[in-house]
Structure 1
Amino acid sequence: MLNIQGIHKSFGSLQVINNLSFEVKEGEFVAIIGPSGSGKSTLFQLIGGISTLDGGAILLDEEDIQLKRGTIGYMPQQPCLLPWRTILENVTIVEELQQQPHIEQAQAWLEKVGLAQFENAYPNALSGGMQQRVSFIRAIVSDKPILCLDEPFSALDEFTRLEMQAWLLSIWEQHRKSILFVTHNIEEALFLADRILVLTKRPATIKEEMIVPFERPRSEGIRHSAKFYALKQQLFNYLKEEKDDAYVD
């Protein structure tokens, strides 16, 4: 599936990523956490073909995708819905640009997520959580082999965020798309992912990898377990070490 092989990236004299390697397998949900400014968004720009590598390789199904756009499904921090387009038109915009709009598929997905009655509405008629569902469906309908989700719930209130995490898991359980998920929220990573990759401070490389031991399908109850709390504390300590190191001369 997705194979990141020893990649490097700098902007002038600022080295952002250094010898970063990992993979995402078919149907796997991988979360990335790390200190602020550690290069997580830059990584997605490289995977999405927006920025060029200084070294290493990014392979998708064994094909080099450096500077190739349109190879992944992407969901940003904000829904980024066009206010002058209806919900259905926003969902199909990627395919429309590729002259392959899948109207019926988009309508079927809106039905699945309870938004069919809003297909002719405009984004300002939807709540923040509903807009994020539309953004996610837009990424799914693009029918790419992997979805890259960049802190998609960070702007939501806590209750809506928890709702969206459960909703995302339910959709993912049904279809098992490969997902690479960036978040600052440790609990979110533990609840959603199969594996968690912890990045170092800039320049980013892999500090630790954690296999999440909870069985699927997952329930909210695991958040209150002693094991969940222990793993949360372990991940917190990894991040704290990086933050503390940043202040060492």
Structure 2
Amino acid sequence: MLLTIHELNKTFGNLQVLKDINLQVDEGEFVAILGPSGSGKSTLFQLIGGNLLADHGTISLNGEVINGKKGFISYMPQQPSLFPWRTVLENVVLAAEINGKPNYKEAKRWLEKVGLDEFENSYPIELSGGMKQRVSFIRALLSKQSILCLDEPFSALDEFTRLKMQKWLLSVWEENRKSVLFITHSIEEALFLADRIYILSKRPARVKAEIKVPFARPRNESLLESNEFFTMKQKIFQTIKEEIEV
């Protein structure tokens, strides 16, 4: 297993947020995490990234325990978090720049692949929301870590832009096949993108269910209209609804 989380617990004061979390991500796998608001999904990412320390349990990457250690994952937050005074190209190479010498040739190649090559000298204020997200994603991709953690990256986008970005993400991921751990509130998004889905309970969060997504790859938007997709969506909806109503 690439990433293994075992019996992870986290408490803030008297508030327990995570309780005995167990999950894993294989090499080249796309895994989604679903759960009610406030269930600790983003806290889990903070623990994986080393920004927080767990009270109990281990986080292992390639067999090495990385509790409290930074620099082992690539991370894309909910907001693009681009520096307004840096050009698109300068923003894209930022993570690589921090970790060593940036590869501008590779950065330009990726900007061309995602249709942003003509904007490499533009500034974030000149970009649409979807374009900013693409820049943020390529920046995370170029940091060269073995796993990419995406924290609701498309939540602020309108429905049509969001679907466009989901399709774009799948096309890039199919080519790159970097391991992905993806937080989302959208059942549809999780089913469309992921190989497996972990469903978290309400706080204190535990893994309530693990679902293997049965749909073949590559995927396109016609899948969203299939009976199989609707059935899976309803099944997951009922699982989360039960948790909210308890």
- Cα distance in 1 between the residues matched to 2:245 and 2:122: 48
Aligned equivalent of 1:130: 131
Aligned equivalent of 1:205: 206
Does residue 1:187 correspond to 2:188, yes or no? Answer: yes
- Cα distance in 1 between the residues matched to 2:143 and 2:100: 12
Aligned equivalent of 1:66: 67
Q: Partner amino acid for 1:26?
A: E
Residue deviations 1:91-139, cap 9 Å, x none?
1111212232121111111011010111111001110000000000000
Shift of 1:186: 0.5
Identity %: 61
- Cα distance in 1 between the residues matched to 2:106 and 2:59: 30
Aligned equivalent of 1:38: 39
Aligned equivalent of 1:238: 239
Residue deviations 1:26-83, cap 9 Å, x none?
0000000000000000000000000001000000001111111111010110000000
- Cα distance in 2 between the residues matched to 1:75 and 1:49: 15
Does residue 1:160 correspond to 2:156, yes or no? Answer: no
Segments of structure 2 that go 5 or more residues without pairing to the other structure are: none
Aligned equivalent of 1:57: 58
Q: Partner amino acid for 1:115?
A: L
Aligned equivalent of 2:220: 219
- RMSD over aligned CA atoms reads 0.6
Aligned equivalent of 1:7: 8
Residue deviations 1:131-175, cap 9 Å, x none?
000000000000110000000000001000000000000011111
Q: Secondary structure at the match of 2:175?
A: helix
Segments of structure 1 that go 5 or more residues without pairing to the other structure are: none
Does residue 1:89 correspond to 2:90, yes or no? Answer: yes
- Would you say how many aligned residue pairs link Structure 1 and Structure 2? 245
Greater mean deviation of Cα atoms: 37-46 or 94-103: 94-103
Does residue 1:174 correspond to 2:200, yes or no? Answer: no
TM-score relative to the length of structure 1? 0.97
- Cα distance in 1 between the residues matched to 2:139 and 2:156: 19
Q: Secondary structure at the match of 1:228?
A: helix
Q: Secondary structure at the match of 1:108?
A: helix
Q: Secondary structure at the match of 2:150?
A: strand
